Amino acid sequence: MLDIFGKNYYIDVDEVIEKCRPSYPVKEIEKKEVTFETSDEPSSGLELNVFKFEVFKACIERILGEYEDVDDKLGAFAEHSSSPSFKMAFNTLLKYEILIEDND
């Protein structure tokens, strides 16, 4: 777990996969099913929206790779030490329920 702003968080990997699954209209799903049945290629069964996946991946890398512990001696100034890119990545992962606060 990662301690950010005095709280512990973890990454819900299953939610990343779920959020990155493409949503097809019903007709598209029927076409895909027919294609898989007639195709000689084995299907992996997992399709991801690559753009969403890459955005979430970049946010996770930003949080894990560049977060620094806040110096307690800074006091009120410590709140503003996070960069805008860190704040954006952190809030994006919270909004999409990928970064989960651990209350235990």
The tokens of 2 are what? 């990662």
Domain extents for the chain? 2-102
Contacts of 92 by beta carbon, 8 Å cutoff, 6+ apart: 55, 56, 59
* pLDDT (0 to 100) of residue 80: 53
Answer positive or negative: Cα dihedral of 101, 93, 63, 83.
negative
The predicted-structure confidence for 19-30, as pLDDT tens digits, reads as follows 998 877 655 555
The predicted-structure confidence for 35-81, as pLDDT tens digits, reads as follows 544 455 555 577 889 999 999 999 999 988 865 555 555 554 555 56
On whether the CB atoms of residues 39 and 72 are closer than 8 A, the answer is: no
* pLDDT (0 to 100) of residue 15: 93
The predicted-structure confidence for 83-92, as pLDDT tens digits, reads as follows 888 889 999 9
| Buried residues in 22-42 as b, exposed as e (16+ CB within 10 A) | eeeeeeeeeeeeeeeeeeeee
* pLDDT (0 to 100) of residue 65: 83
